[in-house]
Amino acid sequence: MQSVKALDKFLRLRSFFSSTFIPIMANLEEPAVFGKLSRFGGDKVKMFSSNPFMIRENGTGIGDCWLEGSSLHSPKSSNYEYTEEVCPWRRQMRNVSWGDFLNRTPANMSRNHRVFRSVPDACYLPDRPYSSHCNDKCTRDNKLLRSMPGFVKIVEVGPRDGLQNEKDIVPTAVKVELIKMLVSSGLPIVEATSFVSPKWVPQLADAKDVMEAIRTVEGARFPVLTPNLKGFEAAVTAGAKEVAIFASASESFSKSNINCSIEDSLTRYRDVALAARKLSIPFRGYISCVVGCPLEGVVSPSKVAYVAKELYDMGCYEISLGDTIGVGTPGTVIPMLEDVIDVVPIDKLAVHFHDTYGQALSNILASLQMGITTVDSSVSGLGGCPYAKGASGNVATEDVVYMLNGLGVKTNVDLGKLMLAGDFISQHLGRQSGSKTAIALSRIRGHASKL
Ligand SMILES: CC(C)(COP(=O)([O-])OP(=O)([O-])OC[C@H]1O[C@@H](n2cnc3c(N)ncnc32)[C@H](O)[C@@H]1OP(=O)([O-])[O-])[C@@H](O)C(=O)NCCC(=O)NCCSC(=O)C[C@@](C)(O)CC(=O)[O-]
């Protein structure tokens, strides 16, 4: 009943948006190589470094531990004021639609969009003295902004990482609709499900059915998690064209998540890697607990680097570094990345931040400045790991896209369509979106629709 209601709301929203949005063609991935990537120099790393966080066993917070963030000396903040002078696009707002507003990037600002229907003036926010967007001049002139990549590949993990922790089983049809909506927003990669033991993760017991239902969906890649050969074979039989293996940098977490030691998991994954290579199936690697573990506390960067190198040597096309419980700050993330970058090429790395302490966007920003160009996120900030008690969802994809739009970094994702997907799943789950961007923009949209 709830899902019928959610579907109905989605259809109504879709008709509202389809009449006011400008369709923006999204490529699967950025075709061209963008601005040369740069990395922080040693000075910058020092600037961000902080004391390691402490663990107190006081029974509150994450699991049985309380993880205390240390005081972080942030670099002198530059106070960018995006006035009409530096961001002249604001003056052109009357000629554009709401969808255009949501997706505005410096690159598309100057294009001559076709407007299908005009919307009330309130949508254009004519009197607002701010903008999240930087124009080309900002990017060129500012030393820190110049270090941003031109394009970021977003790996959407909502249907898998986002839903795996949901207690109430989400119907397969809702998962499939969510995946389709995410694809139509332009996301190039949507992690669809996991072929894990249904006893361990009952929410994803319908993995085969999900794969069957999206067999004909085009426009994105759909990797799935496989913890062992059994999962790999089931995934391939179900039509998976890409898989992911997942190890941990923490011994205790490895045991609680996949019931074996790190070394045993690497042995299993070598078998999966061999089988995948035989079938020419690309495989991604994940590492959990890259800065902190709910059971062990601080995880040293050298442990992460060790596992990353093992996964890279196995043939993973990309290794995603997961702050599974969201305790990282740039002060712990940067040193971890420094160690990993020493053993794995930076263009083979992705970052995967949970937002438990509200640090995810700052960690992403620091990672981008170091040269990372692939970011995992979850629509509406869905998620949490069943084996990391207390961990909150992934960083919300809407928030990542909003920040990247503001930085002038391309993603090919249509924020308006993405918000529809977020609305759809949040409605189904009966809760507010975990994306601050989605909440803020929905308020403006709600206001506009009353006029
Ligand atoms: C790895 C296992 C299977 C070991 O589980 P186990 O109990 O040690 O395995 P087992 O080999 O002894 O088998 C036990 C039963 O599971 C079955 N089984 C065995 N393998 C499979 C399979 N692939 N698919 C379906 N069934 C399977 C097997 O056939 C057997 O069935 P039974 O004989 O009892 O009926 C289990 O621990 C498991 O499934 N764990 C998955 C946990 C999980 O999915 N965690 C969340 C993902 S990781 C994550 O979220 C972190 C990440 C990636 O997002 C990054 C981040 O956020 O930082």
CA of 247 to the centre of ligand 1 (A): 12
Share of the chain above pLDDT 70, in %: 66
Q: What is the pLDDT of residue 43?
A: 37
Measured CA to CA, the distance from residue 333 to residue 225 in angstroms comes to 24
Residue found under tokens 């067999």: 215
CA of 194 to the centre of ligand 1 (A): 9
- pLDDT bin (cut points 50, 70, 90) of residue 142 is confident
Has residue 101 got a pLDDT over 80?
Answer: no
Given this model, what pLDDT does residue 273 score? Answer: 98
| Per-residue model confidence (pLDDT) at position 150 | 95
258 alpha carbon – ligand 1 mean position (Å):
6
- State whether the beta carbon of 373 lies less than 6 angstroms from ligand 1: no
Tokens of 36: 């040369």
Active centre residues (catalytic): 385
* Atom 13 of ligand 1: nearest residue by CA position: 197
**Among 417, 242, 402, 391, which residue's Cα sits nearest to residue 323?**
391
The atom of ligand 1 lying closest to the CA of 244 is 53
Percent pLDDT > 90 in the chain is 63
Q: Look at residue 201 in the predicted model and tell me its pLDDT.
A: 95
Q: Record the tokens describing residue 246, joined without a space.
A: 């997942």
Ligand 1 atom having least distance to the Cα of 391 = 57
Atom of ligand 1 nearest to the CA of 260: 8
Ligand 1 close to Cβ of residue 16 (< 6 A): no
**Residue 258 Cβ contacting ligand 1 at under 6 Å:** yes
Say what the pLDDT of residue 145 is.
81
Q: How far is the CA of 231 from the centre of ligand 1 (A)?
A: 8
Consecutive H or E run containing 155: strand 153-156
> Residue 25 to residues 81, 186, 266, 411: CA-CA distances in angstroms?
31, 8, 40, 12
Over residues 308-315, mean pLDDT: 98
Q: Tell me which residue has its CA closest to atom 25 in ligand 1.
A: 197
User: Concatenated DSSP letters for 391-419?
Assistant: --PBPBHHHHHHHHHHHT-B----HHHHH
pLDDT of 403 strictly over 90 = yes
106-116 pLDDT, tens digit each: 444 333 333 22
Q: Is the CB of 162 under 6 A from ligand 1?
A: no
Dist CA 414 CA 358 (whole Å): 24
CA-proximal residue: ligand 1, atom 43 (nearest): 257
Q: Give the mean pLDDT of 165-174.
A: 96
Measure the CA–CA gap between 110 and 112, rounded to whole angstroms. 7
Alpha-carbon gap, residue 110 to 159, rounded angstroms: 35
Q: Which of 1-5, 12-16, 337-341 has the highest mean pLDDT?
A: 337-341
- Please say whether the dihedral angle defined by the alpha carbons of residues 394, 397, 400 and 404, taken in this order, is positive or negative: positive
pLDDT mean over 160-164? 96
Residue 151's φ and ψ, nearest 5 degrees, are: -140, 140
User: Can you list the positions of beta strands (E) in 270-353?
Assistant: 283-288, 292-293, 297-298, 319-323, 349-353
Q: What is the average pLDDT score of the chain?
A: 77
- ipTM > 0.95 (yes/no): yes
Which DSSP symbol is given to 132?
S
- Asked whether the whole model's pTM tops 0.90, one would answer no
403 CA distance to ligand 1 centroid (A)? 35
Mean pLDDT of 354-379: 97
Nearest residue by C-alpha to atom 17 in ligand 1:
197
More confident residue, 383 or 303: 303
Stretch 233-262: mean pLDDT = 98
Which of 196, 272, 323 best tests ligand 1's pocket when mutated (most atoms within 8 Å of CB)? Answer: 196
Q: Topology of domain 148-433, per CATH?
A: TIM Barrel (3.20.20)
CB distance 376 to ligand 1 below 6 Å = no
Q: What pLDDT, on the 0 to 100 scale, is given for residue 132? A: 65
CB 421 within 8 A of CB 185: yes
Angle between helices 415-429 and 172-184 (to 10 degrees): 170
Tell me what pLDDT residue 3 has. Answer: 52
Comparing CA positions, the residue from 64, 41, 57, 48 lying closest to residue 334 is: 48
The Cα–Cα gap between 89 and 70 comes to 40
- More confidently predicted of 378 and 62: 378
CB of residue 248 inside a 6 A radius of ligand 1: no
Residue 9 in this model has a pLDDT that exceeds 60: no
